[in-house]
Amino acid sequence: MNILTSRQEKILELIVLEYVKTVNPVGSKHICDELNCSSATVRSEMSTLEDYGYLEKTHISSGRVPSEKGYRYYVDNLMKQEELNGNDMMNLQIIFNNNKLALTDCIKKSLEIISDITDYTTVVLGNKSSDNYLKKVEALPIEDNKMLTIVITDKGFVEHKKVDINNISLDEIQKTVELINKLLIGTPIDEVRKKLELEIKPIINKYVKQHEAIYNAFYDVFNDFTSKNVSFVGKNNMLKQPEFNNVDKIKKIFDKFESPEVIDFIEEDKNDVNVYIGKETKLDDDVTIIKTKYKLDGEEGTIAIIGPKRMEYNRVVNMLEFVKENLEER
């Protein structure tokens, strides 16, 4: 590996930061203005960085852009660890200060905020359902012929689903909820569907007119809970990035988003905030994934942010560290 001088490091850092901000190749004039040195010196240093593989020259401009190797060097050696800026911290702190939010809602809303203010895609991989036990079931009428079915676990995870309740009386729904709460509280989530079929269904078959419809409604929400472990926020933000304005390219990325290979890659990690760039991501050469695990009551989940290689690395790393720290303090 080539050893960079302090001036070469500063030039690489300036090019990364400027390109992230403008999406335009960076010329020597900008560097000269920042470093107060001659254009000949800067051009020579940029040429050396290109020879070393840290910069690339585009065909449409005399300026340079960071290569994958250049981004990696920046992240590993030049990126400054700073506190989250005031606005970002305030937006996220509002979520963590709301003690009424269930854990799953807290995670989802914090990632929604990150997605909104960065225009990146966020991902959460929740705890395995086998680690959760049923704490409570609720059913709330929300509009004509619809109810909101809610499942809450001992770990604070919540699953809710709108279901049709045509011709089902609220009284019969409430009877079923009371029955489930009486007989199934404390049951491992993975076992609830089986017990629902073997223990609850025979009872409601006798006492509830629309027993099949009610059974299916509750079965579906438990099925969603045990099978749905991955949630993406802001997928379409990828379309806002100029790197992904090719229809075929973005379609391939979207198709890969929930592939077992990519999900396994996102899930497998150390506890620190980790940065994966380009080919390292298993997703696309122009993508960066920054991710970390969080631990709650001994259980683990993963949160990740997906964006272009031209990502605001320092800002995103700070956001993930802030979210991780606040989640683990709840």
Distance CA 251, CA 236 (A): 11
Give the Cα separation of 92 and 110 in Å (integer). Answer: 6
User: Under a CB-based contact definition with an 8 Å cutoff, are residues 291 and 269 in contact?
Assistant: yes
Confidence of residue 229 (pLDDT cuts 50, 70, 90): low
pLDDT at 187 over 70: yes
CA 146 to chain centroid, in Å, comes to 30
Q: Which CATH class for the 129-227 domain?
A: alpha beta
pLDDT tens per residue across span 259-294: 878 888 887 767 789 999 999 998 999 999 999 988
Alpha helical stretches, state H, the chain: 6-22, 28-35, 39-52, 68-73, 86-96, 103-118, 170-184, 189-195, 201-207, 211-227, 247-257, 260-267, 313-329
pTM of the model: 0.73
Residue 299, pLDDT score: 66
Full strand arrangement of the beta sheet holding 146-153: 134-143, 146-153, 158-164
Q: How many angstroms separate the CA atoms of 36 and 38, rounded?
A: 7
Burial of 257 (0-12, 13-18, 19+ CB in 10 A): middle
Work out the angle between the directed axes of helices 313-329 and 86-96 (0-180°, nearest 10): 30
Give DSSP secondary structure letters for 167-227: T--HHHHHHHHHHHHHHHTT-BHHHHHHHIIIIIHHHHHHH-TTHHHHHHHHHHHHHHHHH
- 180 has pLDDT over 80: yes
Average pLDDT of the chain? 87
Please determine, for residue 312, whether its predicted confidence score (pLDDT) is greater than 80. yes
For the segment 196-216, the average pLDDT, to the nearest whole number, is 86
User: Is the confidence at residue 61, as pLDDT, over 70?
Assistant: no
Largest CA distance in the chain: 89
What is the average per-residue pLDDT within 157-163?
79
How many angstroms from the chain centroid is the CA of residue 12? Answer: 29
State yes or no: pLDDT of 48 exceeds 60. yes
Higher-confidence position of 157 and 179 = 179
Answer CATH for 86-127+229-329 from 3.40.50.970, 3.30.450.40, 3.20.20.140, 2.70.160.11: 3.30.450.40
Q: What pLDDT, on a 0 to 100 scale, did the predictor assign at position 297?
A: 64
The C-alpha atoms of residue 125 and residue 43 are separated, in whole angstroms, by 46
Please name every residue paired with 308 in a beta bridge, in sequence order, or none if there are none: 287
Task: Supply the pLDDT for residue 125.
Answer: 84
Give the H or E element holding residue 56. strand 55-57
Could you tell me if 145 and 205 are in contact, meaning their C-beta atoms sit under 8 angstroms apart? no
Paired residues of 238 in beta bridges: none
| 6-78 CATH pick, 1.10.630.10, 1.10.10.10, 3.40.50.2300, 3.40.50.720 | 1.10.10.10
Tokens for 9?
Answer: 């490091």
The domain segmentation of the chain, as residue ranges, is 6-78, 86-127+229-329, 129-227
Amino acid at 326: N
pLDDT: which is higher, 133 or 130: 133
Rounded to an integer, what distance in angstroms lies between the CA atom of residue 224 and that of residue 69? 41
Q: Compute the average pLDDT of residues 106-125.
A: 92
The predicted model gives 247-268 an average pLDDT of 84
83, 84, 86, 90 alpha-carbon torsion, rounded to 10° = -130
pLDDT cut 70: percent of the chain above it: 94
Q: What is the pLDDT of residue 228?
A: 52
Q: Could you give the CA distance from residue 62 to residue 51 in angstroms, rounded to a whole number?
A: 15
Count of alpha carbons within 13 Å of 38, Cβ hemisphere only?
A: 3
Beta-carbon-side half-sphere exposure of residue 312 (alpha carbons within 13 Å): 17
